[in-house]
Amino acid sequence: MASRQARKSIPKDGVSLWAPVNARVRDRERKRDAVILVAARAFRERGYHNTSLDDIASELNVTKPTVYHYVANKEQLLFECFRAGLHQIMEAFEQIRNANEDARTRLGAVVTRYAEAITSDFGWCMVQAENQDLSPAMSRKVKALKSEIDQGIRQLLKEGIADGSIRDCDAKMAAFAIAGALNWIAHWYRSDEPLAAAQIAERYLQLFELGLRPR
């Protein structure tokens, strides 16, 4: 996706000639990110279908064609918001990939980062970028990415069952339950919520790990 123009002339002194171009590219990317961020907030507050591109443009103090200069259409805008949120969760998996702790502990780390992503500006889009809002092509993409997350959790559960840190259980259903509980945070979380994401994750983990039945 990175721009590939301006490759014609050879830089005479290393980077200096590239700098302005890079600055421009960076500038464009920063603006594009701003569009996506504002859109994400608007979608979260008013919903996808109740937010017009005129709304988003005016919140950015620009007009609609400017928005279209950065994204192809409304659908792609939602997709970018979705991807931004998803990215944070993917990172969580990256970070625990080569930690040498038991799987239950690693799952705990993922859950915490997951909660943080869900409570971010992009959380709502991540959860709500539902199939019905997207074209079949986009829908497939979204589904595939969501499935990766699901498989990641499921995998951790299986590893935990194997290494003895997790009780034997239906990994598929457990993954659905955990992801569901986390995703649902996007429905009730407001910025004035007294509990921070990490604290919410802590309580959730206590439930998931220890269960309701007294030990």
Partner DNA sequence: TATACTCTATACTCGTGAGTATATTTAGGG
Partner DNA sequence: CCCTAAATATACTCACGAGTATAGAGTATA
Residues 60-79, one symbol each (x = binds DNA by CB under 7 A, - = not), give: -xxxxxx-xx---xxx----
Under the criterion CB under 7 A, does residue 16 sit at the interface with DNA? no
Minimum separation from the CB atom of position 204 to DNA (A): 35
Q: Residue 9 or 132: which CB sits closer to its own copies?
A: 132
End-to-end CA distance of the chain: 52
Under the criterion CB under 8 A, does residue 73 sit at the interface with its own copies? no
Structure tokens at 126: 């991540």
Q: Distance (Å, rounded) from C-alpha 73 to C-alpha 3? A: 19
Minimum separation from the CB atom of position 22 to DNA (A): 10
Under the criterion CB under 8 A, does residue 204 sit at the interface with its own copies? yes
Q: Distance (Å, rounded) from C-alpha 29 to C-alpha 23? A: 10
157 binds, among its own copies, DNA, none (CB under 5 to 8 A by kind): its own copies
**Side chain identity at 206, as an amino acid letter?**
Q
Restricting to residues 101-130, name those near its own copies by CB under 8 A.
104, 107, 130
Under the criterion CB under 7 A, does residue 33 sit at the interface with DNA? no
21 binds, among DNA, its own copies, none (CB under 5 to 8 A by kind): DNA
Point out which residues bind DNA (CB under 7 A). Answer: 5, 9, 17, 20-21, 24, 27-28, 31, 50-54, 57, 61-66, 68-69, 73-75
